[in-house]
Amino acid sequence: MAESNTTDQVIADMKREISELSGLSLATGVILTQLLQKIASREMNPQGAAGQIVNNARAAIEGFTTAQKSDPVMKARALEAVKQYEDQIRSVLRD
């Protein structure tokens, strides 16, 4: 029975940690999006600036994940996140 309680506690701790990391990730994403929107909007060609930012990010992810032999799931999620940021930035720049 003690092993079950230990397992339950470990699962509860992991769920709490995942929730904390999710909150941190959300806050980081919101702040980064706001910063990128502000930077891009100050450029002479905001859409071009946004494109350059996300293209550089994609290249950096490709380079880092290749050099580190990273998990393909991590790489795919990172590239998906860049696409999400791009969509968010571009939606504001259109307004």
Radius of gyration over alpha carbons of the chain, in Å? 18
Reading phi first (left if > 0) and then psi (alpha if -120 to 50, else beta), residue 69 is in: left
Output the pLDDT for position 62: 94
Residue 46 is given by DSSP the state: H
For the cut 90, the answer to whether the pLDDT of residue 92 exceeds it is no
Per-residue pLDDT of 34-69, as tens digits, reads: 888 888 888 888 889 889 999 999 999 999 999 999
For the cut 70, the answer to whether the pLDDT of residue 95 exceeds it is no
How far apart are the two ends of the chain, measured CA to CA in Å? 60
Reading phi first (left if > 0) and then psi (alpha if -120 to 50, else beta), residue 5 is in: alpha
Output the pLDDT for position 68: 92
For the cut 80, the answer to whether the pLDDT of residue 94 exceeds it is no
